[in-house]
Structure 1
Amino acid sequence: MAGGADVSLLENMPLFQGIELDCIKRLAAAATLRAYPPKTQLFEEGETPEALHIVLSGVAEAFTRIGEKECSILILSPSDAFMPASALVNEPYLLSARTMKRSKLLLLPADVVRDEMARSTKLACRLAHLLAGQTRVLLRHIKDVKTRSAPQRLAAYLLRIAEESESRNSEVLISKQTLASRLG
């Protein structure tokens, strides 16, 4: 569906809770909803972001590729946003992204998000909170890779996935190859 999203869809998303209705209406009017089959490339590392991608359903992966080697960096589930820093500061993506299974995404034009951030302190704070959360996830990952053995990384990651699945009432299933790549 192109040309807008239902205002109630955005109002019910954690990222937009407490945001002014006028702001939500403008974002919803500019939004695009898209469904993607598994293994669809969403964007490539080095591209300039045109939209802020938010997972509505399904699972997606942010990864990097050097030559023939790929490394999974983040697994994104419903309500997660892809690489928001790139969209917010209009800088090229540092990672690529693809769907891991059938997924539905909300795409918000990056320029509209930046304009609304300038208008809405609440939106700016919610996006800062999102960035802080993703920074913590990435720092935990770096810390795990640098300080834990492979079995310790696997155990810690499986515990985190179990806790997240329980708190979200959802399952995240990933291949052994993705798991091995994610854990180094």
Structure 2
Amino acid sequence: MSLNEEVELLKNIPLFAKIEPSKLKLLAFTSERLSYADGQVLFNQGDSGDAAYIIIGGTASVLIDTDDGKLEVAQLSKGDVVGEIAILCDVPRTATVQAKESLTTLKISKEAFFRLVTDFPQIAVEIMRELAARLEQTNIRLRAALSDKDG
């Protein structure tokens, strides 16, 4: 994938949609492109957060630790962003992310991510929307799990 193709991909992600192409080109240029094989881990639950990742190809599983082992709570695919919670909230990683099939990502450093949020406050609004949507999905799953348990 060329730099221009990476910029096109970034433009189609709601988080980055309103950012001017020159800034997206800089973001793509300063990001590290990483490839993972099936089963490889991007990061583990509890790790410190040093970067966010944009999925540019393939799929990944979001896994949380439970008493019964790892539980898949989400799947990620092209255009999804992951890892931003740990760097924004300065907390340990809230889940493990593991490649399914082969996976390609752009790794955005904590510093570059904060620079973007500072330069483009609308990114912060998009992040809040995304986190609110994830929280709602979690609440729906939790209610369903509790009603299954009671029923």
TM-score normalised to the size of structure 2?
Answer: 0.82
2:89 & 2:111 partners in 1: Cα distance?
A: 10
Secondary structure at the aligned position of 2:85 is classed as helix
1:43 aligns with 2:55: no
Find out whether 1:10 has 2:27 as its counterpart: no
- 1:118-162 CA distances to partner (integer Å, 9 max, x unpaired)? 22122222222222222222222212211236xxxxxxxxxxxxx
Matches within 5 A, 1:135-174: 135-148=135-148
What is the CA RMSD across the aligned residues, in angstroms?
2.8
Residues 107-146 of structure 1 correspond to what in structure 2 (within 5 A)?
A: 107-146=107-146
Greater CA deviation, 133-142 or 22-31? 22-31
Q: Where do 5+ consecutive residues of structure 2 fail to align?
A: none
Instruction: Provide closer, same or farther for how the CA distance between residues 121 and 20 of structure 1 changes in structure 2, counting only shifts above 3 A.
Output: farther
Stretches of structure 1 that go unaligned for 5 or more consecutive residues are: 150-184
Equivalent position SS for 2:82? coil
Distance 2:127 2:46 in 1: 22
Structure with greater strand percent = 2
Distance 1:90 1:27 in 2: 21
1:53 Cα deviation after fit? 1.3
Q: What amino acid is the match of 1:45?
A: Q
For residues 63-104 of structure 1, the C-alpha deviation after alignment (integer angstroms, 9 at most, x for no partner) is: 123577222222222222224211222221021110122111
Distance in 2 (CA, whole Å) between partners of 1:137 and 1:23 is: 32
Tell me the distance in 2 between the aligned counterparts of 1:68 and 1:134: 23
Q: How many residues align?
A: 150
The residue aligned with 2:96 is 96
CA distance, structure 1, for counterparts of residue 21 and residue 122 of structure 2: 11
Q: Percent identity?
A: 20
Question: Please, what TM-score do these two structures have when normalized by structure 1?
Answer: 0.69
**Other structure's SS at 1:94 match:** coil
> Measured at CA, do residues 49 and 95 of structure 1 come closer, stay the same or move farther in structure 2, by a change above 3 Å?
same
Work out which structure has the larger RCO, using CA pairs closer than 8 Å and 6 or more positions apart in sequence: 2
Q: 1:148 to 1:67 in 2, by over 3 A?
A: closer
